[in-house]
Structure 1
Amino acid sequence: MFGGSSTKYFMLWPPALQVLNFPSQRQQEQAPRPVVHFEHPPGHQLHTAPYFLRIPRTVPDADAPSSQETGNGPKTEVTFMRRCYMMAGLFSVTTAIMAMILSKAIPSEADLSLPGLICAVVSFMVLFVLCIGTKCRKLYWFSFILAGCFASLACVSVILVLLERNLVVMCLALLGASALIVTCYFAGAWLPRNVLPGEAALLLLVFFFVVASIFVLIMFVFTNRRIYQLLYFIFLVITVIPTALYHAQVVHGRRFKLPVHEFVICAVTVYLHFLLSFTALYFLIWTPGGDMVR
């Protein structure tokens, strides 16, 4: 049975494979091989480059401006400016309303200089705490509470210190202070920087104001002449104008850019300029009875 030549077994090998449904070697070579495609989600690619040639992935910064600010939304400078002017305008309008109400509620002959001085000292203490609390100013509730306390106390102190509290003179001073501040901040926002005061000019002006104020106040105490009082408030108005021009550049981001939460301290500065202008213009417009000697 197993005895025959090997040629017979070689001739019988292919039919046996066909019976068992195994393709022959020639059919295996001619049959196309299937191609397998691996699907992957869109956007995912296999990085085959070496590690040192790969582009590092960028991590979004938390302090970077949002897409709304970099896209179609308002810029950070515009948002800062709007918040600053809205808060300063709120303080100024509140001061004007309180000044008109208290001028009629308090008798003109009442001497309230001492309570006004106490309110002024407390308001400047609150302002000092607000200025030195740089880290706490990031908390809006801290800034809002201190700014509101300063605005209220400063407004009451100025109204109590005013002489006679004449309603007509007070309204004229409020209109003049509003026009002065709006003009200064508009000019500081649009005029070229080479014609606006810088840091050196501002420091020189403040030094001149301090020296001149000390001399004028000493002369007013010893002579009690109103001319020295008028000179002091003229110096005050002259100092407020360049200071407001410089601060307008800060509010509009022309000098340097502040963080967004610093709009509260800038609004307080704008309000302080308005309050000082109102006080100076009131004493310049108000004329007491009699001659220049009080």
Structure 2
Amino acid sequence: MFGGSLRNYCLLLPPALQLLNFPPQQQPEEEVPRPLVRFEYPSGHQLRLVPRRLRARRAVPDGDASRPQESGNGPNLDVIFMRRCYLMAGLFSTTTAIMAMILSKAIPLGIDLVMPGFICAMVSLLVLFLLSIGTKCRKFYWFSFILAGLFVSLSGMGVILVIWHRNLVYVCIALLAASTVILIFYFAGAWLPKVVLPGEAAILLLIVVFVVASLFVMTMFIFTDKLIYQVVYFFLLAIMLVPTSLYNAQVVHGRRFKLPVYEFVICAVNVYLHFLLFFTAFYYIIWTPIW
């Protein structure tokens, strides 16, 4: 009964038990070859892939965030700042020099214009104060240009109206002397070693000494009414302008610290202020009844 092949025995099993058997493996069908499609393009048009070089962006310091990035072929940012500063300062000084020569010839000597000149000088100091404290507003060029133009016009007019005996010859001599010393001291501040040039501490000490000495000299001039004290005061002013010009030259040339590009306006105003004060000091030293 149990004889025979194993195949016959499996056929006698119930259908449920036959489901446990693995299904027979089917033979893979033959793959049908697919047609190959080729896209032809004109020989004149070829795709050229050129590798692109990736350059890392140069980090910009916080103080120079408003400056444009340096270019390899163009001038340095310090040179651009210096050129703009000296160009505007030269424009301011030339305008004041022409105005001084015209007014010294046009206004008669007998007219007393001390009070209008004093008012113009005081208003110009107020404008300079607003320009100095407006650090955030100086980023806008229109703000700096308007206040700088007002200061130059009012201060030049005030100094010319205040000076005594507006003689054209003395005015031209004082303008020539002021221009010469400005060129000499700013050239020295740009090229001399920093060891021999004044720093912040030296400038602060000199300002304190100048203020104390000026108060004493002007008090003596008011109570004694002697012109010698007036001459001494303008001598002190001329001496004080020497280290301040040397220090400002270092700032303009970027030797002390770097300034943003928009700060060239306030630096040009400082150069012009030194020129105007040198002119005033030399005029009163040249013209005085004592000589």
Structure-2-length-normalised TM-score: 0.79
C-alpha displacement of 1:40: 10
Q: Deviations over 1:142-184 (max 9, x none)?
A: 1001000000000000000000101100000000000011100
Q: Check 1:103–1:255 CA distance in 2 against 1; reply closer, same or farther (3 A cut).
A: same
> Could you say which residue in structure 2 is the equivalent of 1:287?
288
Q: Deviations over 1:234-260 (max 9, x none)?
A: 000000010000000000000001000
Q: How does 1:84-103 map to 2 (within 5 A)?
A: 84-103=85-104
Indicate the SS of the match to 2:128: helix
1:113 aligns with 2:99: no
Letter of the aligned partner of 2:119 in structure 1?
I
- Higher normalized helix content (fraction of residues): 1
Indicate the SS of the match to 2:255: coil
Q: Check 1:250–1:21 CA distance in 2 against 1; reply closer, same or farther (3 A cut).
A: closer
Letter of the aligned partner of 1:232 in structure 2?
Y
C-alpha displacement of 1:108: 1.0
Indicate the SS of the match to 2:198: coil
> Could you say which residue in structure 1 is the equivalent of 2:142?
141
Distance 1:282 1:232 in 2: 13
Q: Check 1:41–1:260 CA distance in 2 against 1; reply closer, same or farther (3 A cut).
A: same
Q: Between Structure 1 and Structure 2, whose CA radius of gyration is higher?
A: 2
Distance 2:66 2:107 in 1: 52
> Could you say which residue in structure 1 is the equivalent of 2:185?
184
Q: Check 1:64–1:240 CA distance in 2 against 1; reply closer, same or farther (3 A cut).
A: closer
Distance 1:189 1:64 in 2: 24
Distance 2:269 2:155 in 1: 11
Distance 1:83 1:22 in 2: 80
Letter of the aligned partner of 1:173 in structure 2?
A
Structure-1-length-normalised TM-score: 0.78
> Could you say which residue in structure 2 is the equivalent of 1:274?
275
Distance 1:179 1:119 in 2: 27
Q: How does 1:29-178 map to 2 (within 5 A)?
A: 42-43=50-51, 63=65, 66=68, 69-178=70-179
Distance 1:266 1:22 in 2: 85
C-alpha displacement of 1:60: 6.7
Distance 1:272 1:94 in 2: 13
> Could you say which residue in structure 2 is the equivalent of 1:199?
200
Indicate the SS of the match to 1:163: coil
C-alpha displacement of 1:110: 1.1
Letter of the aligned partner of 2:206 in structure 1?
L
C-alpha displacement of 1:109: 1.5
Q: How many residues align?
A: 246
C-alpha displacement of 1:265: 0.1
Q: Is the 8 A contact 2:67 2:260 kept in 1?
A: no
Distance 1:124 1:259 in 2: 24
Distance 1:124 1:71 in 2: 42
Distance 1:21 1:258 in 2: 77
- Percent of pairs identical after alignment? 64
Distance 2:121 2:51 in 1: 65
> Could you say which residue in structure 1 is the equivalent of 2:217?
216
Distance 1:93 1:234 in 2: 24
Distance 2:249 2:48 in 1: 57
Return 5+ residue gaps in structure 2 as ranges: 1-28, 34-46
Q: Deviations over 1:113-147 (max 9, x none)?
A: 10001000100111111111111101111100100
Structure 1 stretches of 4+ moved >6 Å:
20-23
